[in-house]
Structure 1
């Protein structure tokens, strides 16, 4: 009887030991929501403060923004495929889909950096007006989060290489990154709609 009660207790403890990892990450995402909410509020206040400089209607190009958006949205789909493979313990497929997600995210960041460089070259840097200061702060904060996500992806790929099984701890890491990556997609949709499209109307 003593042996029978020990086994389920161990599994039960392990389950509760791992659960706070994902829960804690949810708490972190809530704090990130506050940060982005504050940046969106600042942009709402300053969006018409051009100080004689260019407006969003003059600066933004829908074609490039459409490609950025497509890359990030597709990257969420490929990460989802990676999670499906992880649940099946198909490590090679997990690594492959993480790699595809990384390339798509890298393409997004590259386009965003190119956009910033072009705007600064045209004299529309963050010091040009309050509107541009709020724009650069909000969009670059999102871009920095995506960059951190890319570093996270590379780290997980390295950790997965040479393994034959995905332990619970690794699954928690993949789940947390999944939450983070999808969260960035939601934020970008808000940025694309409220910052870019609304400024171009």
Structure 2
């Protein structure tokens, strides 16, 4: 999952960045509202984390402009302000949730996971697709109750496809949601990871789990329970 973090407190920004990278997210970072607006309009993120007290363009205005541009990904606001009016203003501007500083990074991760699941129409952290089971909180994967181990990049691709069952996703979209903005879009890395996922999850191709649609992309099939 690819996130946008807009935070001007550099020590906090770096701490959150490391925590989110360790949690297997891909992350773009901005240090002011104008930079956040540019990145937020340029890329279609899975979620954004936006501080309210930003320089150049405050968080409320940033959120309002992103929503006006049709950016509908979940937004979690961070605020050092303790009064309820600021939180209400942020939610009314289009944010989906908020955290008041100081907070535990684990709470941030839990809220992000919940927002991303809900945006994909999933209420539970456990996604079941036939014999395949994914726990998006613990990152545990099993097929017919046998644990499957994936690398970090394999997991990112698998989770994204599981959150969008039955949807065709192009190679470009997959790269944009899994890797940072400097990644080479002409790379064949997606094909490599698709092959690895098929080999680990469905080695005999009994499930026909991941379909290739020529000229369109890939689709994770919805399987019968």
State the TM-score bracket (shorter-chain normalisation): under 0.3
Where is the strand percentage greater, Structure 1 or Structure 2?
2
The alignment's TM-score, normalised by the length of structure 1, stands at 0.26
Where is the helix percentage greater, Structure 1 or Structure 2?
1
Larger relative contact order (C-alpha < 8 A, sep ≥ 6)? 1
